[in-house]
Amino acid sequence: MKAHAGWSLLVTCEHGGNEVPAAYRALFRGRAAELASHRGWDPGTLALARALTERLDVPLVSATVTRLLVDLNRSSHNPRAFSSVTRALPRAERLALLERFHAPHWQAARAEVARGIAGEGRVLHLGVHSFTPVLDGTAREADIALLYDPARARERALAADWLRALRVAEPTRVVRRNDPYRGSADGLTTALRREYPAVRYLGIEIEVNQRHVGRGARFPAWVVDALAGSLPNVLAAH
């Protein structure tokens, strides 16, 4: 894990694909459109996460199973970890889904966080996500957003500086904080905040508008350039 100005970095991607393992394909017959939609995955995120890890030379923990099977960005005790497709499954089958897909992803993320803290004393965890441009008839204007927990002062300060740097790098884009979701909502970063003190762990989720997703489920180069290009200077200032 490469250090950046005394920081260890980790990138995770919880919704990188819409794959359905063979054992569960019967559940998804007739659901091809749902799988292909934002309900099935976060288009663009896996390629973006890989590009960030290459540019920054940091580890990546990623998954490509559809979130309709089990949502890896929800705590295992959260009922929303299961979609309308899997919520009615017998408890034993839901537990099996958590054990097979959810637990390994979270364990891998925890292991990288622990490794980073052991190496540099503190970790910045970047969760890479994307959002649909229109939800329930409401347009979402942000091009890029950073989600963080406002109650954690170090996280709030770093996110504020990164937001300013992104606006300088991309002055024509709409860059927002905690939009369209709250950074303190249940998810992997929120869970890890409860496990590590604020001086050791900072979790920021990157959200990119899916209207920018192009061919091959990739975001344009400016997204990677803005994020990876601005972050090192921000870390150096902290």
* pLDDT tens readout for residues 118-148: 999 999 999 999 999 999 999 999 999 999 9
* pLDDT tens readout for residues 151-206: 999 999 999 999 999 999 999 999 999 999 999 999 999 999 999 999 999 999 99
Per-domain residue ranges of the chain? 3-236
Topology, domain 3-236: Aminopeptidase (3.40.630)
Q: What is the pLDDT of residue 3?
A: 67
What is the pairing mode between strands 144-147 and 175-177?
parallel
* pLDDT tens readout for residues 38-61: 999 999 999 999 999 999 999 999
List Cβ neighbours of 184 (8 Å cut-off, separation of 6 or more): 149, 150, 151, 190
* φ, ψ dihedrals at 14, nearest 5°: -85, -25
**In terms of Cα–Cα distance, which of 111, 105, 114, 119 is closest to 1?**
119
Q: What secondary structure letter does DSSP report for 65?
A: B
pLDDT > 70 fraction of the chain, expressed in percent and rounded:
99
147's enclosing H/E stretch is strand 144-147
**Is the previous residue joined to 220 through a cis bond, with omega within 30 degrees of 0?**
no
pLDDT > 90 fraction of the chain, expressed in percent and rounded:
97
* pLDDT tens readout for residues 148-159: 999 999 999 999
